[in-house]
Chains A and B, each alone.
Chain A
Amino acid sequence: DVKVTQSSRYLVKRTGEKVFLECVQDMDHENMFWYRQDPGLGLRLIYFSYDVKMKEKGDIPEGYSVSREKKERFSLILESASTNQTSMYLCASHRFRQGESSYNSPLHFGNGTRLTVT
């Protein structure tokens, strides 16, 4: 089974702090994603990465950055936390395969980090 591990289940940070959310997957997946989940809005993509040191903006990248120095690890960084970044953050990984099977394979999610910014 794929295991995606997010280092913290709950975090409480102060406005203006720099926050790091860590995610590690153990299946050598190429693609990794950061989503945030808010009630009534579903999941929205913040950033994704398809290879080491490669990153692409998702739908709501403002206020966030990411780092992928090793294939198994994908970090989300809040440069200066704000109260509107209070949310549930979910990391996911996905195996790339040539052809249609990549489109047909699911994302595998971690258990999430619930971040509160006060």
Chain B
Amino acid sequence: AQSVAQPEDQVNVAEGNPLTVKCTYSVSGNPYLFWYVQYPNRGLQFLLKYITGDNLVKGSYGFEAEFNKSQTSFHLKKPSALVSDSALYFCAVRGMDSSYKLIFGSGTRLLVRP
């Protein structure tokens, strides 16, 4: 069965420093992986998705994600954090049934301090 895990409930980083939000996955077959961001009282916004063969995927707002097949990880990264990046981040994997549903991790709250 497909699943993702986000091991950190919260990540704290100073503005200007690099950030990493961790995600590990378990899939049968090809991994279809996604990152979303949620600002307070809003829905989820798509950030980026894994593209087969690309170990570093670039997405919106300067975010990127590093895919590592041997470690079954898809960590979200940004070279220089902004206070406005503070939000809730979700990693997701596509289910392999015919529903095309996404299976989400529990979320990681990113807090960027000035």
Contacts and interface: CB of A to CB of B under 8 A. Distances in A.
B43 A112 contact: yes
A109 B45 contact: yes
Contact of A112 (B30, B34, B41): B41
A31 B32 contact: no
A104 B49 contact: yes
B101 A58 contact: yes
Chain B interface mostly helix, strand, loop or mixed? Answer: loop
B71 interface: no
Nearest to B50: A104
Interface string B20-54: 00000000001010101000011111100101000
Interface residues of A, number: 32
Interface stretch (B11-19, B73-81, B103-111): B103-111
Given A90-B43, A112-B42, A42 B94 contact: no
A96 B94 CA distance: 14
A104 B32 contact: yes
Given A106-B34, A106-B49, A109-B43, A43 B100 contact: no
A54 B2 CA distance: 24
Nearest to A91: B43
A45 B101 contact: yes
A102 interface: yes
Contact of A48 (B32, B36, B99): B99
Interface of A: 4, 6, 9, 31, 33, 35, 40-45, 48, 50, 56, 58, 90, 92, 94, 96, 100, 102-104, 106-112, 114
14 contacts: A42-B105, A42-B106, A43-B102, A45-B101, A50-B98, A58-B101, A100-B30, A102-B100, A103-B30, A103-B100, A104-B32, A104-B49, A109-B44, A111-B42
